[in-house]
Chains A and B, each alone.
Chain A
Amino acid sequence: MLYRECGQFKSTYRDDQSIFPIAQDRWALWIALAVAIFVVPTIGSDYWLGSIFIPFLIYALAALGLNLLTGYAGLLSLGTAGFMAVGAFATYNLMIRIPDLPFLVAIILGGLIAAAVGVLFGLPSLRIKGFYLAVATLAAQFTIEWVLTTFGWFTNYDASGVISAPPIEMFGYEFKSATSRYLLTLSIVVVLALAAKNMVRSSIGRSWMAIRDMDVAAEVIGIRLLRTKLLAFAISSFYCGVAGALWAFLYLGTVEPQAFDLNRSFQILFMIIIGGLGSILGSFLGAAFIVLLPILINNAAGLFGGAIPADVVSNFELVVFGSLIIFFLIVEPQGLARLWQITKEKLRMWPFPH
């Protein structure tokens, strides 16, 4: 009744090619955006904005980047956090070494540097795939972490290897309060998500999917494997790099290389497994799930009045994480995004069964 395309006629090619062909989807998106821009900052406390919404958005961006690589192009990567670290530290070095460099330009350049590093470690993907590739990307993860901790130049010779973000100014306005940082993060994430959504339905996204589904066939119909795979690595690393820079500058303010360790990579991998491989929406759903689940478990443990020690809770969290991963792989390998799609299909029929 509420959700169907019945009566929505498309009279131009432009309509036919729109990202969301069904009007209700477009309204839902606008409403979600309006809520995110106007409602969340007004009702959210500084704690909610600064410690939940900002990391959620940044995680979603990193998950989006990994999803482009793993979900769309079918190249498994365990080096996500490494590429995030490259983005964060590149942006930091650009900011302190080039005076008066605008923040957005620094972030974009940082992302591009991350992309270059991504291409370098993506080279083995030309000969290998599957978990062999996972090992190659592990090399990226460990090497980047080592380089950043060993050579003081990257951290500006800070004794403890921690970088502190300089204040962010744009057009004479300093982004200091949680609300302003939230809105800046939100706008960057929205722009990049829109770009990704468009990318995956254009020729580049389709060639990624062709490679994922069957590389030999893709090659036969004339997709250049070398270029397409490396492009997937570059774009994915760009997204991760920007996410890393946002993590350092807008979320924590200070960051050390150890913040981007292997566990962070796994966390982002879980987001896209739970959210849905090969789905833009799934990256957001997965990020929301992984950010909110620990809070939920902690609060549930809090109900027992602190009778459960903290280390048991954190271990229990691991068990729940692991079980959920297995559960999702068994029941719905395509994740939350697929569940959402099923709901939509049911809604189109509702209230009639056929």
Chain B
Amino acid sequence: MEFDPFLYIQALFDGLLAGIMYSLVALGFVLIFKASGVFNFAQGTMVLMAALTFVSLLEMGWNILLAGAVTIAALVLLALAIERVVLRPLVNQAPIILFMATIGLNFVIEGGTQMVWGSDPHSLELGDPYASFEIGPLFFNNNELYAAVVAALLVAGLAIFFQKTRIGRALRAVADDHQAALSVGIPLQTIWVVVWTVAGIVAFVAGVVWGGRLGVQFSLALLALKALPVLILGGFTSIPGAIVGGLIVGASEKIAELLAFDLFGVGGVENFFPYLLAMVFLMFRPEGLFGDKIIERV
């Protein structure tokens, strides 16, 4: 097989752009993990729920702003319900129990969303999906570049929210130490609702961006699984980690796919490569690139 360096450079850029979108999903995980120590397995279905609600409302002829507002309202309601029904009774349980509870939550949201809106795939038109431009021999898709810009804006917005606002500071306090935060008068339950709402909004953005690319359908929920290796690489508690991890996963899986095809003639490597990468990574640096050092020997 002839070796074509441009193919690899193209794959690298495609991968990086896809990686930004993985980062968007991973961001939701990091937010919730930081504030409540819960590993939220349902993040992927939250992406599905937000995107499906939004698209269905649009298809019913709603105004785009109104549909967005109603979707966000639905996400706030969801956050309230989760805090009241799932988190509050399970407070102080082992993280593994909470993790399993979010697997249950995952199924409730998935089933509930598809019961309301049906399980047919929808398409989400965000401009021309095939519009692209070239630099030299490389192609870039416009929508993917927009997605990258949106992700960058979102991260900047979150950074400001966390560093400068009152609620953002409270969130960081809760993340540092639940008890200390409680004792200085930060209402833990409100914070949880806020953080799940923010994670929901991140899921909404991710859903719209991914939905524009893949169509709004069930496979959106599976993105959550791709976000797991991103988190392992970047660290569970780091927002920059989620971004960098996403880029690494996106780029490496595309390159690995191409390389495996060139060398061995097999395809489909990208489906499992990130997990193997994460597994190997875990052996050497369990806390991820930017995560908090876990002082715990197993």
Contact = CB atoms under 8 A, between A and B. Distances in A.
A and B from one complex: yes
B118 interface: yes
B11 interface: no
Does more than half of chain B's interface fall in helix, strand or loop, or is it mixed? helix
Range for the number of chain B residues in contact with chain A: 35 or more
B9 to A, nearest CB: 26
Interface residues of A, number: 48
A323 B115 CA distance: 15
8 contacts: A134-B99, A135-B282, A136-B279, A139-B279, A143-B276, A145-B272, A315-B115, A318-B110
Interface of B: 39, 85-86, 89-90, 93, 95-97, 99-101, 103-112, 114-115, 118-119, 225, 228-229, 232, 266-269, 271-272, 275-276, 278-279, 282-283, 286, 297-298
Given A146-B268, A315-B111, A325-B107, 16 more contacts: A124-B283, A126-B298, A127-B286, A128-B286, A130-B99, A131-B39, A135-B279, A150-B267, A216-B297, A316-B111, A316-B115, A318-B110, A322-B105, A325-B103, A329-B100, A330-B89
Contact of A143 (B112, B119, B272): B272
A149 B268 contact: yes
Contacts of A132: 232, 282, 286
A111 B177 CA distance: 46
A266 B103 contact: yes
A131 B269 contact: no
A153 interface: no
Contacts of B97: 329, 333
Interface string A124-160: 1111111110111011001101100111000000000
Does more than half of chain A's interface fall in helix, strand or loop, or is it mixed? helix
A270 to B, nearest CB: 8
B232 A146 contact: no
B119 to A, nearest CB: 6
User: Which of A121, A123, A138 has the most C-beta atoms of chain B within 10 angstroms of its own C-beta?
Assistant: A138
Contacts, number: 133
B266 A150 contact: yes
Contact of A128 (B103, B106, B298): B298
B111 A317 contact: yes
Interface of A: 76, 121, 123-132, 134-136, 138-139, 142-143, 145-146, 149-151, 215-216, 225, 262, 266, 269, 273, 311-312, 315-326, 329-330, 333
A157 to B, nearest CB: 15
B107 A329 contact: no
B285 to A, nearest CB: 10
A326 B104 CA distance: 6
B146 to A, nearest CB: 30
Contacts of A216: 297
B49 to A, nearest CB: 13
Contacts of B104: 321-326, 329
A266 B110 CA distance: 14
Among all A-B residue pairs, the 8 with the closest Cβ atoms: A318-B111, A325-B104, A322-B107, A139-B275, A322-B108, A142-B272, A319-B111, A315-B111
A76 B110 CA distance: 23
